[in-house]
Amino acid sequence: MRRLTWGDFVFAGMYDYLKAMLQSPDLDTKYPSFKKLQDTVLSLPKVREYVAAAPPTEL
């Protein structure tokens, strides 16, 4: 995969919010590249550590 940009990190962080606001939980199926990008960002060791330690956010 290409190098990640700040935009990739922002999108990955906002993707679940986007699905909730659009009331479209099937975005993963319609646009698998969106989910793949989020999974790629969230699989980075330091990001994974941060997400695991962060308090849950209610949408």
Domain ranges for the chain: 6-52
CATH number 1.10.132.20 is the correct assignment for the domain at 6-52: no
Per-residue pLDDT for the chain (59 aa), expressed as one digit of tens each?
679 999 999 999 999 999 999 998 899 999 999 999 999 999 999 999 999 999 988 87
- CB-based contacts of 41, cutoff 8 Å, min separation 6: 4, 8, 9, 12, 13, 47
- CB-based contacts of 28, cutoff 8 Å, min separation 6: 19, 34, 35
Give the C-alpha separation, 33 to 27, whole Å. 10
The pTM for the full model equals: 0.84
